[in-house]
């Protein structure tokens, strides 16, 4: 009807029909924005990646962070977290890693990234961590799986990331947000000093790049690519690829 009826009975029926139509309209599912669909897809992909992580970690035990972290390692407010298995392969393809590359994982933890990298034909793979317990675990992992590695020069070093002497042949640095503030500033200073001593093509794979602005502020690196993944801890998993300016 175009207007409300004058008759009381007809008016009551009209109002009941109108109320039913409004309720149906409100309860009708709305078209979800594209952003919501992307978030759902990201969550689904991340769920599958986590299931794959559980499968790939069998026999390695690199997932649970069961070891205590020294007090000196926690001063920059970073807690040890494991890097998902799907991150490194994609990142190494992005930086075009090859047999002439020297790779280092800063904050290597239990050695998952070192283990993954060593399965590729790299020249050398280095893991650096401040925790004696984690370094011991990583060294044991490397020793037990050495026969699987295409890279035969694999080393785990016990050191503070801000004090570690950057090798002048390092060409790929991997960081999963291992340290911040003073430690990260010291790390960058050592990295720049190494570039000054020996200019070369140096790439940085930086997962959850909280210090990305600091990297660019050195004036020695440029951001060349963003790699995006699924959702983790309610935020988009992001990996920044930086390259040294020579």
- Return the pLDDT at 177: 95
Q: Which CATH architecture has domain 48-244?
A: 3-Layer(aba) Sandwich (3.40)
Each domain of the chain, given as residue ranges in start order, spans 48-244
Q: Are strands 235-244 and 221-232 parallel, antiparallel or unpaired?
A: antiparallel
User: Which of 2-16, 84-98, 154-168 shows the lowest mean pLDDT across its residues?
Assistant: 2-16
**Cα–Cα distance, 43 to 35 (Å, whole number):** 12
- Return the pLDDT at 8: 73
Q: With cut-offs at 50, 70 and 90, classify the pLDDT of residue 37.
A: confident
Instruction: Please name the residue that has the structure tokens 């042949």.
Output: 169
Mean pLDDT of 220-236: 70
């Amino acid at each position: 009807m175009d207007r409300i009826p004058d008759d009381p009975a007809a008016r009551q029926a009209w109002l009941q029909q109108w109320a039913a139509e409004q309720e149906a309209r409100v309860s009708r599912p709305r078209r979800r924005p594209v952003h919501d669909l992307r978030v759902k897809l990201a969550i689904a992909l991340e769920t599958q990646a986590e299931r794959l992580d559980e499968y790939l970690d069998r026999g390695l035990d690199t997932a649970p962070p069961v070891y205590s972290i020294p007090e000196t390692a926690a001063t920059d407010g970073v807690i040890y977290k494991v890097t998902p298995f799907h991150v490194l392969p994609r990142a190494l393809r992005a930086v075009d890693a090859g047999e002439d590359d020297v790779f280092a994982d800063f904050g290597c933890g239990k050695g998952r990234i070192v283990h993954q990298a060593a399965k590729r034909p790299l020249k050398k793979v280095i893991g650096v961590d401040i925790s004696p317990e984690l370094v011991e675990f990583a060294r044991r992992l490397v020793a037990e799986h050495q026969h699987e590695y295409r890279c035969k020069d694999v080393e785990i070093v016990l050191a503070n990331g801000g004090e570690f002497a950057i090798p002048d042949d390092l060409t790929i640095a991997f960081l999963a947000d291992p340290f911040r503030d003073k430690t990260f500033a010291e790390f960058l200073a050592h990295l720049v000093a190494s570039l000054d001593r020996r200019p070369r093509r140096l790439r940085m794979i930086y997962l959850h790049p909280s210090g990305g602005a600091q990297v660019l502020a050195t004036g020695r690196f440029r951001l060349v690519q963003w790699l995006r993944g699924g959702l983790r801890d309610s935020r988009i998993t992001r990996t920044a690829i930086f390259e040294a300016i020579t």
